[in-house]
Each structure stands twice: as C-alpha cells, then as structure tokens.
A and B are shown apart, each in its own frame.
Chain A
Amino acid sequence: DGGITQSPKYLFRKEGQNVTLSCEQNLNHDAMYWYRQDPGQGLRLIYYSQIVNDFQKGDIAEGYSVSREKKESFPLTVTSAQKNPTAFYLCASSIRTGVPFGYTFGSGTRLTVV
C-alpha cells in the first residue's frame, strides 16, 4: 500500500547533539513537508520541498535543516541550534502544485531531549 513512513517512532536527543528524522513516501508525490506539533499550539510548518534538490523555509525553520536528494525521501535534521526540540514531528506529502488532491501524513516521530 502507498503511504508515508516516518522513523524512528521515538527518538531521544542529548543536549548539543544533532539528530535526523527519516521520512519516505511511495506515493510518487512531488511535494513534501515537515511540521512540528506542540501541545496547545497546533501544527507549524518547518520546511517544504516542491521538487528534488529544492526546498524552502516554513514558519519555524531556525535550528532545522533538510535535504531532498531523492523524490521519495525528505529527511529532517534537528541541530543543536534548536533550543527547544522536544515535540511531535509530522511529515506530509502532496501530489504536486495546482492539483487538489490534498495532503497525506505519516505517523510521526516523537523527539525528546534528555
């Protein structure tokens, strides 16, 4: 079945470490997105990519980095510059610009700083 796979489901980070969250899709979607979810704040857009080798900052990109070397993959790195990384991270995809088929989401990665 087609879908989005996020891994790991749970991730623990020590102070000063960089960690990378994986997002893979087999939907043949062009566009991919990373969102952060905090209690009481809803989902906020971190980065998005509309095509391979291109990506744009969302509303809260500081302390995060991404790459889009393959259409299927859009990994998110949480760097040591992100001061409050504990949150639930969701990856999403959409077919392409201008086509109203909506967005598909993965099952999320919960990141905790220890």
Chain B
Amino acid sequence: KQEVTQIPAALSVPEGENLVLNCSFTDSAIYNLQWFRQDPGKGLTSLLLIQSSQREQTSGRLNASLDKSSGRSTLYIAASQPGDSATYLCAADGTGGGADGLTFGKGTHLIIQP
C-alpha cells in the first residue's frame, strides 16, 4: 500500500527566501505526482502535475521535480511571499493509470513572515 510522507511538517521563513518542500513515497510505480495548495478552511488548488515519464514541471515561481527511482519529489518555491502561506500537499496517483484515487501526505504548513 502506497504511503506518502512530507517533510517538514511545518516551516516558517522570512519573505524573499527560496525554499524546498520534500515528499517521499514508498511505491515507485506511480502514474502521476501532484502538488496542491490548501488555504485554511478551503478546498485544494492544484499547483503542478508531474507525469511519471517527466522529471520536473515549472509554473511561475514554483518548480517541482520527480525522481521515481528514489521515491522522492520536491517543490521549490523561489522568492517566497506572504501570500504563499498555506498548507502544501503532495499526492501520488495509483499504479497503471487507474482512477483509484490519490494517496496524500499530511502536508507541510508554510508560513512566510513579512
């Protein structure tokens, strides 16, 4: 059974710093790896999707990488801003492309200090 772990659980940094959020998964036979953002009391907003054949994806100040062989993904946030404060969730899609649902990590709670 797939397990997803996110480190650190919480992170507080001053505005302007570059930072890295880590995600690891136990079963490397994933189809996709998807990063989400969740604001308090809200739903999930998709940030980046990395297909199993890809190594990384970029969107603005965000860059996500995927290393299936080591079971790791990282989310890099450049030049952090107070508006980036949220919980970031990593989720692994099941094997073989089946629509069986995502397996989530518990998230990294990020605070960017003004």
A58 and B101 contact, CB distance less than 8 A: yes
Residues on B with C-beta less than 8 A from A56 are: 100
Answer yes or no: A98 CB below 8 A from chain B CBs.
Answer: yes
Q: Given A100-B31, A103-B46, A33 and B101 touching (CB < 8 A)? A: yes
Q: Identify the interface centre among B41, B45, B89: most chain A CB within 10 Å of its CB.
A: B41
Measured CB to CB, the nearest residue on chain A to B103 is A45
Across the interface, do A108 and B101 meet the contact criterion of CB distance under 8 Å? Answer: no
Give A13 to B53 CA distance when docked, in angstroms. Answer: 45
With a CB–CB cut-off of 8 A, which chain B residues contact A106? 43
A113 proximal to B (CB < 8 A): no
In the bound complex, what is the Cα–Cα distance between A36 and B105 (angstroms)? 13
Chain B residue with the shortest CB-CB distance to A6: B43
B110 nearest CB across to chain A (Å): 16
Tell me the residues in window 88-109 of chain B with beta carbons closer than 8 Å to chain A beta carbons.
89, 91, 93, 97-102, 104-107
**How many chain A residues touch the partner (CB < 8 A)?**
32
Tell yes or no: A30 within 8 A of B by CB.
Answer: yes
Query: Majority SS of interface residues in chain A?
Result: strand
* Residues of A contacting B41 in the complex (Cβ-Cβ under 8 angstroms): 88, 108, 110
Residue of B32, B44, B93 near A105 (CB, 8 A) is: B44
Are B46 and A100 touching (Cβ within 8 A)? no
Contact of A102 (CB < 8 Å), options: B43, B49, B52, B104 = B49
CB distance from B73 to the nearest CB of A (A): 14
Once A41-B106, A110-B41 are accepted as A-B contacts, the answer to whether A104 and B101 lie under 8 Å apart by CB is: no
**Known: A100-B32, A100-B49. Is A40-B106 also a contact (CB below 8 A)?**
yes
Which residue numbers of B lie inside 8 Å of A, CB to CB?
31-32, 34, 36, 41-46, 49, 51-52, 89, 91, 93, 97-102, 104-107
